[in-house]
Amino acid sequence: MRDVAILGVGCTDVGEHWEMSIRDLLFKASRKAIDDTGLDDIRKIEGLYVGNMCSGLIQGQEHLGALMADVLGISGVPACKVEAACASGGMALHQGVKAIASGLQDFVLVAGVEKLSDASTPEATSALMMAEDSEYSAYVGASFVGLNALIHRLYMKEFGVRAEHIAAFAVNGHNNALNNQYAQYRFQTTAEKVLASPLVADPIHLLECAGNGDGAAALILCPLERAKEYSDEFIEVAASSVATDVFSLTERADMLSFNASRLAAERAYGSAKIGPQDIDVLEVHDAFTIVGTISIEDLGFVKKGEGAKFVHDGNISLDGKLPTNTFGGLKARGHPVGATGIYQIAELVWQLRGRAGKNQVEDAEIGLAQNVGGIGSTASVHILRRTW
């Protein structure tokens, strides 16, 4: 198996892109990623993997792999859409890494895209709920925010956690998004303002939820041994891992831990031959503040039940023990579902290159990204490392 490197990254800003189609977003992000490399000929790209969840239902457009190849002018290469709910981006990257590591392909483009603004809020809510059990949970009218509200309330009860402790996750994201030119919500907030925002599903407030957004992000992968031929700022993919859990939240033995995240993290740490203590910068899937809080625990950074206090005490700030979601996370950078996992990787690459601007984490050499599909039904964990 070959080691894998990321040569280039690119993304669009996250927002409501009324003037752009899904193919426009894909093209813009992909061209940025290609231009970020020293790749002299786009025809060297031998494979395309596109992370997306909702294009079939919302845009009436599937077959995004072939569409993307055509738009880029490289029809003929193998290409496909990869779907794993909100973890579609992380899963697409996992497929791209395997293609390079196996020796089947030398240059691969991995992209993620979503355009939720083409749907009304009820339509988007229904589309996203397809990530849970449609014959049970969705059928009875449950929504994603409703199910996460159950977890949120249970977490507070089980561990004696106050609402303001969990709200601190949103505050951190908004603080970091201020200096991110691609972020959807570039404003600061406080725990008091978060908890004063309208309740969406008690006890979750509006400012504890990632909003709907459009966006695309892309990466170029190649064998690590060849990366120096094309870039002086390549980043190694030290580990790529994906795991699943019992599909429906209501059938799990423990609702306060995502086993998929724990398994994927254990495998990733083993593959990279490191532990949680070696991570300099972290990207976690904070679609809701409670998901980000539990993810800190599942990835092995603190014990179960201690995540909220860890966050509230400032440990995930840019100058804290574990700088987390340094460009705003899903909450403030935005959550263009199928592209989210790729945005996370692009942001880690900027950190490890030392090109994160005002959000730069000092001496960042190793980063971890966790991307979750459904309510923890799927999780990808990638570890990136600077080797120069």
Q: Where are the domains of the chain?
A: 4-121+213-235, 141-209+238-385
CA angle 179, 359, 239 (to 5 degrees): 120
Provide φ and ψ at 337, rounded to 5°: 15, -85
Contact, 5 vs 233, CB < 8 A? Answer: no
pLDDT of residue 64: 98
CATH topology of domain 4-121+213-235: Peroxisomal Thiolase; Chain A, domain 1 (3.40.47)
Contact, 325 vs 316, CB < 8 A? Answer: yes
E strand or H helix at 121, and its extent? Answer: helix 121-128
From the candidates 86, 94, 205, 209, which is the catalytic residue? Answer: 86
Report the chain's C-alpha Rg in angstroms. Answer: 19
Q: How far apart are the first and last CA of the chain?
A: 21
Residue listed under structure tokens 């923890």: 376
Residue listed under structure tokens 């925002």: 197
From 325, 334, 341, select the one nearest 117 (Cα to Cα): 334
Q: What is the pLDDT along the chain (388 residues), one digit of tens a residue?
A: 999 999 999 999 999 999 999 999 999 999 999 999 988 889 999 999 999 999 999 999 999 999 999 999 999 999 999 999 999 999 999 999 999 999 999 999 999 999 999 999 889 988 988 998 888 887 788 888 999 999 999 999 999 999 999 999 999 999 999 999 999 999 999 999 999 999 999 999 999 999 989 999 999 999 999 999 999 999 999 999 999 999 998 899 999 999 999 999 999 999 999 999 999 999 999 999 999 999 999 999 999 999 999 999 999 999 999 999 999 999 999 999 999 999 999 999 999 999 999 999 999 999 999 999 999 999 999 999 999 8
Q: Is 335 assigned a catalytic role?
A: yes
Q: From CA 87, how far away is CA 91, in angstroms rounded? A: 6
pTM beyond 0.85, yes or no: yes
Residue 72: alpha-carbon gap to chain centroid: 24
Cβ burial of 34 (10 Å; 0-12, 13-18, 19+) is buried
Q: Given this chain, do its domains 4-121+213-235 and 141-209+238-385 carry the same CATH topology?
A: yes
Contact, 96 vs 2, CB < 8 A? Answer: no
CATH of domain 141-209+238-385: 3.40.47.10
Beta pairing partners, 368: 282, 383
Q: Is 86 assigned a catalytic role?
A: yes
pLDDT of residue 125: 87
